[in-house]
Chain A
Amino acid sequence: MISRRLISFSFALSAFGLWGCSQGFDFLSRSFVPVTQTRSEAIQPTLTQVIPTGFQTFEKNTLSLQTAVQALLSDPSEAKLQQAQQAWRLSAESWVATEAYQFGPVSDDRIRQQIDFWPRRLDHMQAVLADSQPLSIEQLGASRRGLPVLEWLLFGSPSAEVLQSGDQRAKTYLRLVADDLVLQAEKVSAVWRDQENSYLRQLQTQDSASKLLLNQWVVLLEDTKNKRIGIPAGLMGASPAPDQREAPDSQHSQQLLSAALDGFEQVYTAGSTQGVSEYLIALGHRQVDQKIQMQIKKLRQDLKALSQPLDQLVQDSPESLGPLYEDFKTLLRFVKVDLASALNETVNFTDNDGD
């Protein structure tokens, strides 16, 4: 009697199950590859190789910039100014390339703001030059130091003053900010250089690195979409604000945007051998990986296809940046929704129970 009931129950249950299954599951065609790596193993090359290398490159470039600035200040000339400008471009590009992993002490200790306060506050910088008090870097807030200040001093109106002989205030300001940038870069690099430091060990053991990375990518892509394109080009409702573009004096905004994309790709693929990209494939989410990689390629094509440099387009025909804006929006969606889903990570850190 009991076994007959059990059989009937099993049949009913199977029928229910089959009915449920009949609701269509194309996503079952997802590739099925047994996962062999734990999450922390998958993320290891990113933490121990890609990120430290990125910050070390930035540190190296700031040292070159400091040297170039010292040379310029000791013997001002047009050629030396150009060398310093080139050194600034390399420093700025290498810094922007690290945006995809600017979490941890660089963010928590507000070092990021000391290096690149953006959008810049031109009035704050002008006030420093206009002031008559002796200059001291400790007295200067984040908006009065870092890469945007160096850009203004090297490419903007004060560059003429820098080229003059004598003891101009702009020169002192330039030297102090260049020296401070090196100090900040060393701080950031030190966090990741020492493989035994507590922050890195904590990251490696607490399985929080993938969540931090994902959230940082969302921040990077949102900032790029909104601050680098949307707001300056007026694609977000308000009037165009070309002054708010990233590098208005150096006209280097497009290269910095490309550098941000490069940095994201570099850390996503972990140098094309391992990393989140490979891990996604191992989890059976090859389609998500392909979508992201294809979108990165599309964005590169968009950038190549721009009829004029970004700095020019923002001023002359901002509406032509619409497709680039939309394509960044799509990449943001792939990361924020599809990648987060595939990795089972949450965007936004919240402390709460489920169900």
Chain B
Amino acid sequence: MTATKTELRSFLETPLPSASLVFFRVGLSVLLLLMLLRFYYRGWLSDYYLKPAYHFTYLGFDWVQPGSGNSLYWHLWFLVGCTVLMGLGYCYRWACWGFVLGFGYLELLDKTPYLNHHYALWLLVLLMALMPLGAAGSLSQRHLQPLPGWCLWTLRLQVGLIYTFAGIAKLNGDWLVAAEPLRRWLPALSDTPWIGSLFLIPILPWLMSWAGMLFDLTIVGWLLWPRSRNWAFAAVVIFHTLTALLFPIGVFPWLMIFLVLLFFAPDWPQRLWQRVRQGRQKLFRPELQLAQTQSNFSFRWQIPVLGLFFLIQFCLPLRHWIYPGNVLWTEEGFRFSWFVMLIDKTGSVEYKVQDPASGRFWLVNPNQELTGFQTRMLQTQPDLIHQYAQHLGQRWQAKGYAKIEVYAEAYASLNGRPSQLLIDPQANLMAIPRSLKSQSFLMPLLL
């Protein structure tokens, strides 16, 4: 046992060429930069955080609120600064932690814009903050000195978890038997130039569903096996490029193509560069790294930290099993679990605020206060419906109605099913506290 432990430790501490990690650090910074600038130019900072009069904060984080005036724009430029410094490798750790805290703050402000790839990016930068990636190919250290193997393997493990859990999430009847939601998504793309008519092929949704599931579940294995790696990478490029062209999923496909490069040999950028330049010029004096056999970096405090990190990463995507019912319907344990492109929901919500003392009631349409985007998210997500009911109750309490009751008439359709009640219309949502426990007001999925 001790021998295995020693071998594992030795394996993880073995220095590896750092070119791949340097490429990762710079590339991820560029992607983050593009994402932040896109966020700015599309006006999403204003749409998601400044325009809304009410924010759907995470449980326990109600105290996280947007600053006044232009402070959020300054915050965005702070994140841009962190990203640039990360890429340059200057004040690297400070920049990483600055980004982790800053981007985390932005995400905690409101959960309606939650996206899996935002979460993935945040996790990757958090891992980067634990690694000495600024110690090679950077402004402060131009030499490509080797970096310990655990850096590369940690990132590979994280990427592997994303694919694997995304694949496991696809092992359900909606995806495999009903080919939903692709069965409704694809015909809607029939007007796509050149290839539109292909989306009318009846069997295509099933083929794509099964291929997607097999791809997610097995791609890490194919990437780790040197003999299949090139083909697997080609499959990754084709798969994600197709999803980028067909579905509005932002930088996610490009991020995954980029991350998969971590599975190539750690010196692949040098080899590629040398091949391109035919060996006449070498990048960052690579001869130095080849002479190095021992890492300059210790691997002590990272062991428990990374252990805890991956324990959480293994448990979070599985936590939905604790809750009763179909997670795609109840969405209890849905976020942070790599449920990617699995559900298509539409919904409708109307609130009834009632004063039991006088019998008076008020029907409230959420779009009277919420933005269009927030309303769309609220209509299908039970925890948001509950949270907003409590907010409405508090508003009426502030008007002097001490014992106010709030009910929601919420209908939703999941993956093409007929619309059905999502929330028990008899449940007084004001009387049910927000918590991580399974909520009694959820109606079971009937079909």
Binds A, one of B57-65, B85-93, B182-190, B274-282: B182-190
Q: How far is the CB of A163 from chain B (nearest CB, A)?
A: 43
Q: How far is the CB of B446 from chain A (nearest CB, A)?
A: 9
A23 within 8 A of B: yes
Residues of B near A27 (CB, < 8 A) are 178, 416-418, 447
List B residues 336-385 near A (Cβ within 8 Å): 340-341, 344-348, 360-363, 367, 372-373, 375-376
State the CA gap A96–B136 with chains docked (Å). 70
Tell me the B residues contacting A by CB distance below 8 Å. Answer: 42, 44, 47, 113, 115-117, 171-178, 181, 184-185, 187-188, 190-191, 196-197, 200, 202, 214, 217, 247-252, 326, 340-341, 344-348, 360-363, 367, 372-373, 375-376, 411-413, 416-419, 447
Instruction: Check A337–B347 contact: CB distance below 8 A.
Output: yes
Instruction: Check A17–B376 contact: CB distance below 8 A.
Output: no
Residues of A near B361 (CB, < 8 A) are 237
A16 within 8 A of B: yes
A24 within 8 A of B: yes
Q: How far is the CB of A42 from chain B (nearest CB, A)?
A: 9
Q: How far is the CB of A220 from chain B (nearest CB, A)?
A: 15
Instruction: Check B115–A355 contact: CB distance below 8 A.
Output: yes
Binds B, one of A124-132, A173-181, A328-336: A328-336
Instruction: Check B190–A337 contact: CB distance below 8 A.
Output: no
Residues of B near A334 (CB, < 8 A) are 419
A348 within 8 A of B: yes
**A211 to B, closest residue via Cβ:** B188
Residues of A near B251 (CB, < 8 A) are 353
Using A343-B188, A349-B372 as known contacts, say yes or no to A22 and B249 having CB atoms under 8 A apart: no
A60 within 8 A of B: no
Instruction: Check A352–B44 contact: CB distance below 8 A.
Output: yes
Residues of B near A338 (CB, < 8 A) are 346, 413, 418-419
Extra A-B contacts (13), CB below 8 Å, given A38-B190, A353-B250, A355-B116: A19-B171, A22-B173, A28-B177, A32-B202, A237-B361, A283-B184, A333-B348, A337-B346, A338-B419, A343-B184, A350-B376, A353-B117, A355-B252
Instruction: Check B187–A35 contact: CB distance below 8 A.
Output: yes
State the CA gap A28–B116 with chains docked (Å). 29
A157 within 8 A of B: no
Residues of A near B175 (CB, < 8 A) are 20
B373 CB contact (under 8 Å) in A35, A283, A332, A348: A348
Residues of A near B375 (CB, < 8 A) are 348
Instruction: List 16 A-B pairs, Cβ < 8 Å.
Output: A25-B178, A30-B416, A35-B200, A36-B200, A38-B196, A38-B197, A207-B191, A285-B416, A287-B418, A346-B376, A347-B346, A348-B372, A348-B376, A354-B341, A355-B117, A355-B252
Residues of B near A137 (CB, < 8 A) are none
Q: How far is the CB of B390 from chain A (nearest CB, A)?
A: 19
State the CA gap A236–B351 with chains docked (Å). 11
Residues of A near B363 (CB, < 8 A) are 230, 236-237
A134 within 8 A of B: no
**B338 to A, closest residue via Cβ:** A355
State the CA gap A340–B344 with chains docked (Å). 10
Instruction: Check B172–A23 contact: CB distance below 8 A.
Output: yes
A39 within 8 A of B: yes
Residues of B near A32 (CB, < 8 A) are 202
Residues of B near A202 (CB, < 8 A) are none
State the CA gap A150–B172 with chains docked (Å). 60
A side interface size, CB within 8 A:
54
Q: How far is the CB of B51 from chain A (nearest CB, A)?
A: 12
A7 within 8 A of B: no
A40 within 8 A of B: yes
Instruction: Check B413–A337 contact: CB distance below 8 A.
Output: yes
State the CA gap A343–B181 with chains docked (Å). 11
**A205 to B, closest residue via Cβ:** B191
A135 within 8 A of B: no
Instruction: Check B447–A24 contact: CB distance below 8 A.
Output: yes
Using A344-B344, A352-B44, A355-B115 as known contacts, say yes or no to A35 and B172 having CB atoms under 8 A apart: no
**B35 to A, closest residue via Cβ:** A353
Residues of B near A349 (CB, < 8 A) are 372
Instruction: Check B173–A34 contact: CB distance below 8 A.
Output: no
Instruction: Check B191–A347 contact: CB distance below 8 A.
Output: no
A306 within 8 A of B: no
Using A32-B202, A38-B197, A40-B191 as known contacts, say yes or no to A353 and B252 having CB atoms under 8 A apart: yes
**A346 to B, closest residue via Cβ:** B376
List A residues 232-251 near B (Cβ within 8 Å): 236-238
List A residues 22-75 near B (Cβ within 8 Å): 22-28, 30, 32, 34-40
State the CA gap A337–B412 with chains docked (Å). 6
Residues of B near A39 (CB, < 8 A) are 187-188, 190-191
Residues of B near A287 (CB, < 8 A) are 418
Instruction: Check B173–A333 contact: CB distance below 8 A.
Output: no
State the CA gap A63–B334 with chains docked (Å). 59
State the CA gap A279–B42 with chains docked (Å). 34
Residues of B near A352 (CB, < 8 A) are 44, 47, 113, 248, 373
A341 within 8 A of B: yes
Residues of A near B171 (CB, < 8 A) are 16-17, 19-20
Instruction: Check A237–B418 contact: CB distance below 8 A.
Output: no
Residues of A near B117 (CB, < 8 A) are 353, 355
Q: How far is the CB of B107 from chain A (nearest CB, A)?
A: 14
A13 within 8 A of B: yes
Residues of B near A336 (CB, < 8 A) are 346, 348
Q: How far is the CB of B164 from chain A (nearest CB, A)?
A: 13
Residues of A near B362 (CB, < 8 A) are 236-238
